[in-house]
């Protein structure tokens, strides 16, 4: 079984460095030295250095929420892969729906960022997923195929093995709605099948594919127990240490019992 990855995307939260440090301290203290499930948090850029200091000595990884595809230059407001590494990051989230749909980010841009992340030795978490209208029009697989092909273009099997994917149905992000176990497993199985056809079964068997979209303590065990779900990209529930830790505990329960 692939090691589950539970990552918390804090988005534009919290509003102060003090609150960010307190949240990170709560996660670090509650998790302890446990390593049976991989864990990472993604604070806003301005809090990365401080959160890195708080997490020192813990197994919790630190993630950026985005990066730019150039390492340096006249790109006002952007953050590069080497900058993220310098402040302690191990991961970076790319292609989140709030950037794809809210800021017009294309799969070609995600692909450029992905290659920059890999060059910087970061673990990229590449997000894909369909909107409500696309789901209702039964276009889920077509949308996923388009995003997979565009976002992961020109990668070798070796490079792909170091990429994490996050299936996040856009209609379930921040809405309180969650894909049913059948919907989540179907999408994840489709993704796994495409990976197998494109990169080979061995690589497909190594790639971690998370689920994201209103993951909460009360649905985490069921979602994380699905055969092709390898973790969770958690939004709102990652802003309360107790809730995030409960989701991690759910992952630990799944890891301990294994999957059927």
Residues classed as catalytic: 96, 168
Q: Which of 110, 104, 98 is nearest to 69 (CA)?
A: 110
Asked if 229 contacts 223 with a C-beta cutoff of 8 angstroms, the reply is yes
Q: Where are the beta strands (DSSP E) in the chain?
A: 5-9, 38-42, 61-64, 91-94, 123-128, 164-167, 209-212, 231-234
Percent of residues in the chain assigned helix, strand, coil, to nearest 5: 45, 15, 40
**What is the 8-class DSSP label of residue 105?**
-
Structure tokens at 36: 């049976």
DSSP 120-182: TT-EEEEEE---HHHHHTT-HHHHHHHHHHHHTTT--HHHHTT-EEEE--GGGSSSS----HH
Structure tokens at 210: 């998370």
Burial of 9 from C-beta contacts in 10 A (0-12 / 13-18 / 19+): buried
**Bond from prior residue into 230 cis (ω within 30 degrees of 0):** no
**What is the 8-class DSSP label of residue 14?**
-
């Amino acid at each position: 079984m692939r090691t589950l990855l539970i990552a918390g995307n804090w988005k534009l939260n919290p509003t102060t460095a003090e609150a960010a440090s307190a949240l990170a301290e709560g996660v670090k203290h509650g998790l302890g030295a446990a390593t049976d499930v991989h864990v990472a948090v993604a604070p806003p850029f301005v809090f990365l250095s401080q959160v890195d200091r708080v997490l020192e000595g813990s197994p919790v990884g630190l993630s950026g929420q985005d990066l730019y595809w150039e390492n340096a230059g006249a790109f006002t407001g952007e953050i590069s892969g080497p900058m993220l590494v310098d402040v302690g990051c191990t991961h970076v989230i790319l292609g989140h729906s709030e950037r794809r749909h809210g800021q017009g980010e294309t799969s070609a841009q995600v692909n450029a960022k992905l290659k920059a992340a890999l060059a910087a030795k970061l673990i990229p978490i590449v997000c894909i997923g369909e909107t409500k209208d696309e789901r209702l029009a039964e276009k889920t697989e077509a949308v996923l195929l388009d995003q997979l092909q565009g976002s992961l273009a020109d990668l070798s099997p070796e490079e792909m093995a170091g990429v994490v994917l996050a299936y996040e149905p856009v209609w379930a992000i921040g809405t309180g709605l969650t894909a049913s176990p059948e919907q989540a497993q179907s999408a994840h199985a489709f993704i796994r099948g495409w990976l197998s056809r494109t990169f080979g079964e061995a690589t497909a068997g190594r790639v971690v594919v998370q689920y994201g979209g209103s993951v909460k303590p009360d649905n985490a065990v069921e979602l994380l127990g699905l055969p092709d779900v390898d973790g969770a990209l958690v939004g709102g529930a990652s802003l309360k240490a107790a809730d995030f830790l409960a989701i991690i505990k759910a992952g630990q329960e799944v890891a301990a019992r294994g999957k059927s």
